[in-house]
Amino acid sequence: MYNAANKPLFITTIASAIISAGILATSCSGSSANEEKEASLLLQQADSAATTHDFTLALELLDTIKSKYPAQIDIQRQAMALRPKVEEGAIIREIEQTDSLSAYIAYRIDSIMPQFQLVHDPSLGEDYDYYVIKQYAKSNLFSRTGVEGRVEPSGQYKILSSLTASPVKHTSIALSGSAGEVASASVPYDGERNYRSGGTEMITFIGADCDTLGYWLNNSAPAGTVKLIFKGERNYSTPLAANDRRSLAESWKLASFMKERRMLSVKRDFLERKLALTRDQMARTAGEHNAQ
C-alpha cells in the first residue's frame, strides 16, 4: 500500500526511469545521425565512382547502402535513383568489351580461314556443308587409314576416323606421344556414325566425343611423332600423318573461334536487351521525380 514512507523511493524510481529513457533516446538519436552520415558518405563515393566510370565499385557501394542502412529512407531513395545510371554505364562498358573481343575473334577466324575450304554437296544440301583444310577438300578418307578434322558452319567440331589396314572393330581412337595419351569417347557400332563396309571401318566423332584430341594437339602434344591408335577388340597403332595432325589441330582452332563468336553474339544481344530495360527504368524514374 502506498504511503508517505514510500514516496521518496517512488520519486527516485520515476526519476531513474526518465533519465534512462533520456539517455536511450540520446543514444538512438546519435546512432541514427552516425548512420545517416555513413550512408551519405557511401552515396557520395558511389556517385564519384560512377563519374570516373568505376561502375563495379559504384554498384558495390550502392549494395552496401541498401543492405546496411535500410532505415535511411532519403538516402535509400537517392541511391535507387542513382543505380539505373550506374547499371547503364556498366552495361555499356560490358558491350564495349564484348565488341572488342568479337573483333579479335573475327580477326582470328579471318586469319585461319584461308587454310580451309567449304565442301558442299548439292545432292545433300547446305545442312551437310563443312569446312576442311584445303589439302583434304577432295580427299577420300574412306580409301585410307587415318583421321580428318571437320567444322560445320555452326562451329561444330568433328573428327572422322577410317581404318582399312587392319580391321579391329574400333569404337574409339586415341593419340599418344611423349606427353601422354588422350582418347575420344566410345561410339558403339550402329551402322550410321560407326559403320563398316568392304573392309573399311569409319566413325564420326562429334563435339565432346573428340574435342579433347584437338585441344591436346594444340596445347600438350609433343613436336615429334604422335601415334594414332584405333581401339576396338584389339588396338591398331600407326604414326599420325602430318596432314592428319594439321587437320585435327587447325579444325579444332577454327571450331573454337566460331563457337566463341557465336557465344559473344548471344551475349551482346542479351546486353542490348538489358540496356533497353535499364533505360526504360531510368525514364520512368525521371518521370516520377518530375511528377513530385
pTM: 0.79
Residue 24 has pLDDT above 80, yes or no: no
Report the length, in residues, of the chain: 292
pLDDT tens-digit readout, 230-268: 999 999 999 999 999 999 999 999 999 999 999 999 999
Gap between the Cα atoms of 228 and 163, Å rounded: 11
Q: Which three cell numbers stand for residue 138?
A: 577432295
Residue with more model confidence, 147 or 36: 147
Residue 17 has pLDDT above 50, yes or no: no
Average pLDDT over every residue of 93-111: 98
What is the per-residue pLDDT for 11? 47
Please answer whether residues 161 and 173 qualify as being in contact, where contact means their C-beta atoms are separated by less than 8 angstroms: yes
Please answer whether residues 194 and 185 qualify as being in contact, where contact means their C-beta atoms are separated by less than 8 angstroms: no
Q: Which three cell numbers stand for residue 244?
A: 592428319
Average pLDDT over every residue of 107-120: 97
pLDDT tens-digit readout, 164-196: 989 999 999 999 998 899 999 999 999 999 999
Gap between the Cα atoms of 231 and 171, Å rounded: 6
Residue with more model confidence, 27 or 236: 236
pLDDT tens-digit readout, 138-152: 889 999 999 999 999
What is the per-residue pLDDT for 286? 67
Average pLDDT over every residue of 9-18: 48
What is the per-residue pLDDT for 284? 80
Q: What residues contact residue 162 under an 8 Å CB cut-off, 6+ apart?
A: 141, 142, 144, 145, 146, 147, 148, 200, 201, 202
